[in-house]
Amino acid sequence: MQNSLIVPIYNEVENLPILVRQLVELTSQLEGQSEIVLVDDGSTDGSTELLEQLAAEHPQLVVIQFRRNYGQTAAMQAGLEAARGECLVTLDGDLQNDPADVPQMLAKLDEGFDLVHGWRKDRHDTWLTRKLPSRMANWLISRVTRFPIHDLGCTLKAMRREIAEEIELYGEMHRFIPILAHWRGARCVEMVTRHHPRRFGKTKYGLSRTLRVVLDLLTVKYMLDYYTSPMKLFGRIGVGFLTMGMAMIAASVGGKLAMGIDMTGNPLLLLGAILCVVSVQLFSLGLLGEANTRLYYTRNSRRPFAIRKTIRHGDHDTTAPTTLPLRRTRAA
């Protein structure tokens, strides 16, 4: 299988006929065999029945049905796991992403990139509830993660299969795929893509998701800087608390010896003791985190690094670089 187009679907019954027609036309333009993976995220508007009908009409369709609504991240993860293509492309099911951008993204992969993520530069959404929160979130995420990006919320992405296999998605993590891939050493590039106004239905996004994105940002920041060595985080905070606690205790004892200040009525003594206890707890959390990290990598046969290729001079057992064929679109 050459390409897999992955689309999470949630209550898009009016958009589905047009979407499937566009994707089927796209697969006819791509070189090699392609599949379309549609993940029904617990739709309740008739999308489930329509997907079954469309799957019977188009053999390249693969339909995954959730028992209930689990969210876009879960649907994305299920689609990535079910896909069999060498190159995986993710799109939204609301017709706002343009499938015509996919061949250019695949061409970017041919240039040597591992992941191409879209940038909806001319975005057709409401300014107050969609554009403004998105710009603020992208600015914050870019500064915190030190990953230059303009539009982290764009679902339209193309990536190599081995990159998708190294990423685990939870919560609202699907929007952080480029950052997680970059953390694993993937070569990422941002590409301007077209964006269309929503034609049918209503958006599933709003201001309520902003808080969840910020909370997931904390998780991503922790994974980027301290995932393989939690003691660096908890140990540094613990040392700071221990230093402040010991200084407060020393000040209390010094005040008692020098000026006869009552230690039992001095709040610095109690606060210093509390800070020392908290520091011990932080050191314990760091040790537990280090132990869990090692258990995770050992039991899951994972490593805290990613190898692009291995070259052994004079040995025929050489791992070739993971590249795809140079061209995927048929000549006109």
pLDDT per residue over 22-50, tens digit each?
A: 999 999 999 889 999 999 999 999 999 99
Half-sphere exposure of 284 (CA within 13 A, CB side): 6
**Confidence band (pLDDT; 50, 70, 90) for 170?**
confident
**Confidence band (pLDDT; 50, 70, 90) for 305?**
low
Quote the pLDDT of residue 206. Answer: 57
Alpha carbon distance 184, 306 (integer Å): 6
DSSP sequence for 238-290: HHHHHHHHHHHHHHHHHHHHHH---STT-HHHHHHHHHHHHHHHHHHHHHHHH
Q: What proportion of the chain, given as a percentage, has pLDDT over 70?
A: 87
Alpha carbon distance 177, 331 (integer Å): 32
Tell me the C-alpha to C-alpha distance, in Å, between residue 216 and each of 49, 166, 168, 206, 324. 34, 18, 13, 16, 32
Quote the pLDDT of residue 222. Answer: 87
Which phi and psi (to 5°) does residue 326 adopt?
-70, -30
CATH code, 3-226: 3.90.550.10
Nearest in space to 152 (alpha carbons), one of 194, 113, 118, 127? 118
Nearest in space to 9 (alpha carbons), one of 1, 20, 22? 20
pTM of the predicted structure, to 2 decimals:
0.76
pLDDT per residue over 145-165, tens digit each?
A: 888 888 888 999 999 999 999
In the predicted structure, residue 119 carries a pLDDT above the cut 50:
yes
Yes or no: say if 43 and 121 are a contact pair by the CB < 8 Å rule: no
Cα dihedral sign for 130, 131, 133, 135?
positive
CB atoms within 10 A of CB 120: 23
List own/partner pairs for 46-49 with CB under 8 A and 24 or more apart.
Answer: 46/13, 47/9, 47/10, 47/11, 47/12, 47/13, 47/16
DSSP state of 129: I
Alpha carbon distance 92, 78 (integer Å): 15
Residues 6 or more apart in contact with residue 164 via CB below 8 angstroms = 80, 83, 88
CB atoms within 10 A of CB 73: 20
**DSSP H or E stretch at residue 107:** helix 102-110
Nearest in space to 115 (alpha carbons), one of 145, 85, 87, 134? 87
Quote the pLDDT of residue 321. Answer: 47
Alpha carbon distance 133, 221 (integer Å): 20
Average pLDDT taken over every residue of the chain: 85
Quote the pLDDT of residue 197. Answer: 87
